[in-house]
Amino acid sequence: MSLATPTTLPSAKGAEGRRHFGQFPLQRRVLLSQMPLAISTVVVAIAVLVIEPGVATGSPHFVLGLGGIGLLTVLAGVVPWHRFHPVVYWVIPLLDFVAIAPLWTAARYVVDGMSLLSAFPVFWLAWSGIYPALALTLGFLGSAAVTWWPYLPGEAPFPDELVESALTRPVVVPFLMLALGVAASILTRSMDKQRVELRSALDRAASQNRMLQAVVETSDVGILVVDGRGNDILMNQAQRRTHFIGLPPGRDDGPEDELLLFEADGVTPIPPEERPVTQALQGKDYRGRIIAIGTDGSQQHLSVSASSMYDEEDHFDGTVVVFQNVTDLMDAIQTRERFVAEVSHEFRTPLTSIIGYLDVALDEDLDPIVRKFLITSQRNADRLLGLVTSLLDSAADSSTVTVQEVNLARLVQNSVESVEVQAKKAGLRLTADLPDRMGAEADPVKMSQVVDNLLSNAIKYTPAGGSVTVALRRLGGVGGIGGVDGGVDGGGDWAELTVRDTGFGMTKAERERLFTNFYRTEHVRKAAIPGTGLGLAITQGFVRAHGGEILVSSEKDVGSTFTVRIPIAGSTF
Ligand code: ADP
């Protein structure tokens, strides 16, 4: 599958290869319409020659008729009919009647049913589709003239024609011809109608196709459509540009599987079976997968989405893969993160120094008013340091943890103890249900931060009179937590920490955005409760870095429960 070949939408003109009768030039159509009669006449002439050579060579009627049809066939093919009004070519079928009449007169007793030759011009007139009533009348009169010709005065009747039953022929045949003409006329009209409808459907499809093509081509988003066998059906301009960026250096064309694709970090090559198009062709649908394409200065980041197509029988019929260039967005995010990290780092150093000096100053013998001012300054400097630390944590790489043997029970106990005063001040009942020991392979600093964050939230967002309950327990066995809320699968034991409060709680919509950076619920913002909206995003990053998960269940005005589960891994105690 080459992605470099520009492809366009499948054309609505697919049926163009073969032209149908109506699309031929008029001259050719007139000749083709005359041919059935010409060929049938040749067959009849051969039959007469074989059965009664005398008639074929000796009858002036026969020769006249044969010559007439031959001449009309030549005229049908050479006259530039398109220069005249369409009705002018009727002269050929009408003169055909005149030629058939002597032919049938001469040979009617040799080849029975020769008058049926007049069916050809009748059919032709009716089939022409113009002036239907006139065409039917002329066809009827023409076939009647042919059948009645032998009975005109001066023509010698053949003995069998004197038989009464034979006399029915001149009456019946013209009516049969008329019926044939009517049938042909109805058929033509219904076919014409169908053709008009088909034409307009095709025109509509073609115009929609053009519109779609314009939309697809003007889109900044790269679009690739691949059929079930892996052939490109469509690739728009944006995608052709992206494809070019991904080509190995020095190449200006190449198939998709040679493009330089990396994971979002821009350096880890994507294994062949995990390439976006390969996965899409396996029928996998996905949204917003971030990858990098190309190398060095020209590398771009793409957000890739794939959606499978299915035929009427629900079989996989191809896939649509959409590539959105998110390089600017990624750059902006990186710049923001760098900025936050640098600014908060720069803030922290002078702040720590301010706090240090305030501490020292407060140890001095001070005027009570000055002491009060300094305590307020110290409180606010502490708060500022807390905010700056949160910002720094959010910018720091939360995906790496340095694990060691940790007694989680002790770790949680420490955190609980450090917020006891705070809880008491807030008028809350703080209870903890912890085992004596629970060992885990964890990063003690990051896990402490996890517990601190959850505890400080529970205290901040629970009104006086409420309660905060902390519990730690061990979940055992393979897949112990796999079934919970689509949680993590895995073997071995897990540590589960729950922090339950009877606070403000949250709505479902609020719960869904909880782990997003800087998100704070409306109620909390309006109540001006201090915070940055970063704590839970950081907490989630730390928990995931431990291979665990964080879940929340909450009800507005009832309370919230945060549950953290991490694998105990190789802990020996
Ligand atoms: P912060 O607490 O600094 O605002 P977090 O990321 O820790 O930031 O929390 C984000 C938001 O989630 C909070 O602002 C609050 O609206 C909501 N929230 C967090 N914990 C609770 C809780 N226990 N009860 C009610 N709302 C909570």
Looking at residue 500, its pLDDT comes to 98
Categorize the per-residue pLDDT at 408 as very low, low, confident or very high, splitting at 50, 70 and 90: very high
Shortest-distance atom of ligand 1 to CA 458: 23
Looking at residue 481, its pLDDT comes to 45
For ligand 1, the distance from its centroid to the CA atom of residue 407, given in whole angstroms, is 27
For ligand 1, the distance from its centroid to the CA atom of residue 87, given in whole angstroms, is 87
For ligand 1, the distance from its centroid to the CA atom of residue 390, given in whole angstroms, is 13
CA Rg, the chain, in Å? 46
Shortest-distance atom of ligand 1 to CA 499: 23
The protein residue with its alpha carbon nearest to ligand 1, atom 9, reads 533
524 lines ligand 1 (CB under 6 A): yes
The protein residue with its alpha carbon nearest to ligand 1, atom 20, reads 457
536 lines ligand 1 (CB under 6 A): yes
CB 136 within 8 A of CB 127: no
Looking at residue 156, its pLDDT comes to 54
- Per mean pLDDT, which range of 238-247, 309-318, 480-489, 522-531 is the poorest? 480-489
Buried b (16+ CB within 10 A) or exposed e, 424-444: eebebebebebeeebbbbbbb
The protein residue with its alpha carbon nearest to ligand 1, atom 18, reads 457
Whether 435 has a pLDDT exceeding 80, the answer reads yes
Whether 474 has a pLDDT exceeding 80, the answer reads yes
CB 291 within 8 A of CB 302: yes
> Which residue, 50, 187, 161, is CA-closest to 108?
161
| DSSP bridge pairs for 235 | 7, 224
469 lines ligand 1 (CB under 6 A): no
65 lines ligand 1 (CB under 6 A): no
The more confidently predicted of residues 411 and 104 is: 411
CA-CA distance, 306 to 445, in Å (whole number)?
40
535 lines ligand 1 (CB under 6 A): yes
Helix (H) or strand (E) holding 321: strand 316-325
What token pair was written down for 63? Answer: 């020769």
Looking at residue 224, its pLDDT comes to 93
Categorize the per-residue pLDDT at 155 as very low, low, confident or very high, splitting at 50, 70 and 90: low
For ligand 1, the distance from its centroid to the CA atom of residue 244, given in whole angstroms, is 46
Mean pLDDT of 130-135: 88
Categorize the per-residue pLDDT at 399 as very low, low, confident or very high, splitting at 50, 70 and 90: low
Express each pLDDT in 22-58 by its tens digit. 778 888 889 999 999 999 999 988 888 888 887 777 7
SS3 category, 372: helix
> Which residue, 403, 361, 410, 409, is CA-closest to 381?
361
506 lines ligand 1 (CB under 6 A): yes
SS3 category, 298: helix
For ligand 1, the distance from its centroid to the CA atom of residue 394, given in whole angstroms, is 15
SS3 category, 275: coil
CB 13 within 8 A of CB 69: no
Whether 279 has a pLDDT exceeding 50, the answer reads yes
Whether 432 has a pLDDT exceeding 90, the answer reads yes
- Per mean pLDDT, which range of 74-88, 150-164, 180-194, 533-547 is the poorest? 150-164
Beta-carbon contacts of residue 217 (< 8 Å; ≥ 6 apart): 236, 237
What token pair was written down for 134? Answer: 């006139």
CA pseudo-torsion sign 474, 476, 481, 483: negative
The more confidently predicted of residues 254 and 71 is: 71
Categorize the per-residue pLDDT at 397 as very low, low, confident or very high, splitting at 50, 70 and 90: low
CA-CA distance, 21 to 324, in Å (whole number)?
48
Shortest-distance atom of ligand 1 to CA 523: 16
CATH superfamily of 400-567: Histidine kinase-like ATPase, C-terminal domain (3.30.565.10)
Mean pLDDT of 209-232: 91
Categorize the per-residue pLDDT at 333 as very low, low, confident or very high, splitting at 50, 70 and 90: confident
301 lines ligand 1 (CB under 6 A): no
CB 436 within 8 A of CB 452: no
For ligand 1, the distance from its centroid to the CA atom of residue 513, given in whole angstroms, is 10
For ligand 1, the distance from its centroid to the CA atom of residue 140, given in whole angstroms, is 94
560 lines ligand 1 (CB under 6 A): yes
Categorize the per-residue pLDDT at 92 as very low, low, confident or very high, splitting at 50, 70 and 90: very high
Q: What is the 3-state secondary structure (H, E, C) of 376-432?
A: HHHHHHHHHHHHHHHHHHHHCCCCCCCCEEEEHHHHHHHHHHHHHHHHHHCCCEEEE
Looking at residue 316, its pLDDT comes to 92
The more confidently predicted of residues 169 and 329 is: 329
User: Between the CA of residue 140 and those of 124, 146, 469, what are the distances in Å?
Assistant: 12, 10, 104
Mean pLDDT of 536-548: 89
The protein residue with its alpha carbon nearest to ligand 1, atom 11, reads 520
Shortest-distance atom of ligand 1 to CA 453: 7
Shortest-distance atom of ligand 1 to CA 503: 24
Whether 11 has a pLDDT exceeding 50, the answer reads no
The protein residue with its alpha carbon nearest to ligand 1, atom 19, reads 457
The protein residue with its alpha carbon nearest to ligand 1, atom 7, reads 535
Looking at residue 490, its pLDDT comes to 46
Whether 6 has a pLDDT exceeding 50, the answer reads no
Q: How many percent of the chain have pLDDT more than 70?
A: 88
Mutate to test the pocket of ligand 1, among 398, 460, 461 (most ligand atoms within 8 A of CB): 461
User: Between the CA of residue 354 and those of 147, 368, 374, 528, what are the distances in Å?
Assistant: 124, 20, 11, 26
Whether 158 has a pLDDT exceeding 70, the answer reads no
Categorize the per-residue pLDDT at 390 as very low, low, confident or very high, splitting at 50, 70 and 90: confident
pTM of the model: 0.47
For ligand 1, the distance from its centroid to the CA atom of residue 457, given in whole angstroms, is 6
CATH of 220-325, one of 3.30.450.20, 3.40.50.280, 1.10.10.10, 3.40.50.970: 3.30.450.20
Mean pLDDT of 10-18: 48
Categorize the per-residue pLDDT at 486 as very low, low, confident or very high, splitting at 50, 70 and 90: very low
- Entry field: residues in the chain: 573
> Which residue, 221, 225, 236, is CA-closest to 277?
225
CA-CA distance, 359 to 363, in Å (whole number)?
7
The protein residue with its alpha carbon nearest to ligand 1, atom 2, reads 531
Whether 202 has a pLDDT exceeding 50, the answer reads yes
CA-CA distance, 172 to 177, in Å (whole number)?
9
The more confidently predicted of residues 412 and 145 is: 412
Mutate to test the pocket of ligand 1, among 515, 524, 539 (most ligand atoms within 8 A of CB): 524
Average model confidence (pLDDT) across the chain: 84
The more confidently predicted of residues 55 and 323 is: 323
For ligand 1, the distance from its centroid to the CA atom of residue 454, given in whole angstroms, is 9
Whether 1 has a pLDDT exceeding 90, the answer reads no
In the chain, the amino acid numbered 205 is A
Looking at residue 3, its pLDDT comes to 39
SS3 category, 114: helix
521 lines ligand 1 (CB under 6 A): yes
Sheet holding 494-501, edge to edge: 429-433, 467-475, 494-501, 559-567, 549-555
Q: What are the structural domain ranges in the chain? A: 21-201, 220-325, 333-398, 400-567
What token pair was written down for 282? Answer: 């396996």
| DSSP bridge pairs for 431 | 469
Q: β-strand 467-475 against 429-433: which pairing, if any?
A: parallel
Shortest-distance atom of ligand 1 to CA 505: 25
The protein residue with its alpha carbon nearest to ligand 1, atom 13, reads 520
Mean pLDDT of 120-144: 88
CB 288 within 8 A of CB 303: yes
Mean pLDDT of 447-457: 91
461 lines ligand 1 (CB under 6 A): yes
Mean pLDDT of 341-357: 80
- DSSP of 53-109: HHHHHH-HHHHHHHHHHHHHHHHHHHS-GGGS-GGGGGHHHHHHHHHHHHHHHHHTT
Looking at residue 96, its pLDDT comes to 92
Based on the number of CB atoms within 10 Å of its own CB, is 77 exposed (0-12), middle (13-18) or buried (19 or more)?
middle
Helix (H) or strand (E) holding 551: strand 549-555
